[in-house]
Amino acid sequence: MLRSLIWKRSQAYSSVVTMSSISQRGNERLLSEVAGSHSRDNKILVLGGNGYVGSHICKEALRQGFSVSSLSRSGRSSLHDSWVDDVTWHQGDLLSPDSLKPALEGITSVISCVGGFGSNSQMVRINGTANINAVKAAAEQGVKRFVYISAADFGVINNLIRGYFEGKRATEAEILDKFGNRGSVLRPGFIHGTRQVGSIKLPLSLIGAPLEMVLKLLPKEVSKIPVIGPLLIPPVNVKSVAATAVKAAVDPEFASGVIDVYRILQHGH
């Protein structure tokens, strides 16, 4: 009789474990389905997706299972990596806003990495006018969120490339005006990582990674010291910028507004 009682309890315990396992697998499947549905619902357009930062953002968004497209003046990326085939490439010029409209169809979030250097007037046009055109077009199209890769303030250096920062700040103001709490502005400093130029891979992290490791240990307040403070802003890995940008584009709970390098370091790890 004792042996029979032990056997029954063993059977009951086995049933509980089996049901628990089934329930756990069911929960995992449900979470997976929800995540998959979430990914399918988000369609991200990366402006300048064939550039250094833009290509990493495309890869990060694809890694998370999102639908990704990109628009740039040259169209498809010249890289021969496998991820390139998973992006829908559009050719267009943000200075001609009508060329952007077809790429915005069905898009829920836009991430702009468009920027460049030149004369002051050229920098205002590239960093400002072009991006402002994109912000306006995205707002008119009903895009839910807009993320912009801007740049940290570098004090006196700002004056040397005045048009660059004038354009950047004008775009930031337009995003916060048109998108409010659905707009995010990332302000990294030096972005390190592996940058591919043609067939050459530039290991920017050889300099950037050690500097990031050291400078991020300093209190944030040192970056506000006149003249030298901006030079103590820690560099940030391009993968951290990409991860933060994608999170800002798809997570409705992500804090909007200006995201400085310290918050990029926090969100990117």
The per-residue pLDDT for 255 is 85
Q: What is the mean pLDDT of residues 184-208?
A: 88
CB atoms within 10 A of CB 152: 19
The per-residue pLDDT for 92 is 93
Q: Which tokens sit at 266?
A: 């926090």
Q: What is the mean pLDDT of residues 86-109?
A: 94
Residue 132 contacts residue 174 (beta carbons within 8 Å): yes
pLDDT above 90: percentage of residues in the chain: 64
Over residues 30-55, the pLDDT tens digits come to 333 434 445 568 899 999 999 999 99
SS3 at position 120: helix
DSSP state of 235: P
| Residues linked to residue 71 through DSSP beta bridges, in sequence order | 47, 90
Most distant CA atoms of the chain, gap in Å: 94
Name the pTM for this structure. 0.83
Over residues 132-174, the pLDDT tens digits come to 999 999 999 999 999 999 999 888 778 889 999 999 999 999 9
Mean per-residue pLDDT of the chain: 85
Question: Burial of 173 by CB count in 10 Å (0-12 exposed, 13-18 middle, 19+ buried)?
Answer: middle
Q: What is the mean pLDDT of residues 95-110?
A: 93
The per-residue pLDDT for 134 is 97
pLDDT above 70: percentage of residues in the chain: 85
Interatomic CA distance for residues 122 and 222, integer angstroms: 33
Q: Would you place residue 187 in the very low, low, confident or very high pLDDT band (cuts 50, 70, 90)? A: very high
Interatomic CA distance for residues 165 and 127, integer angstroms: 8
Over residues 260-269, the pLDDT tens digits come to 999 999 887 6
The per-residue pLDDT for 148 is 98
Over residues 227-259, the pLDDT tens digits come to 888 889 999 999 999 999 999 999 999 988 999
**233 conformational bin, left if phi > 0, alpha if psi -120 to 50, beta if neither:** beta
Residue 64 contacts residue 58 (beta carbons within 8 Å): no
pLDDT for 9 beyond 70: no
Q: What is the mean pLDDT of residues 190-211?
A: 86
The residue among 143 and 225 whose pLDDT is bigger is 143
What residue ranges define each of the domains in the chain, with the CATH number in brackets? 40-266 (3.40.50.720)
Q: Measured on CA atoms in the order 209, 115, 246, 256, is the torsion positive or negative?
A: positive
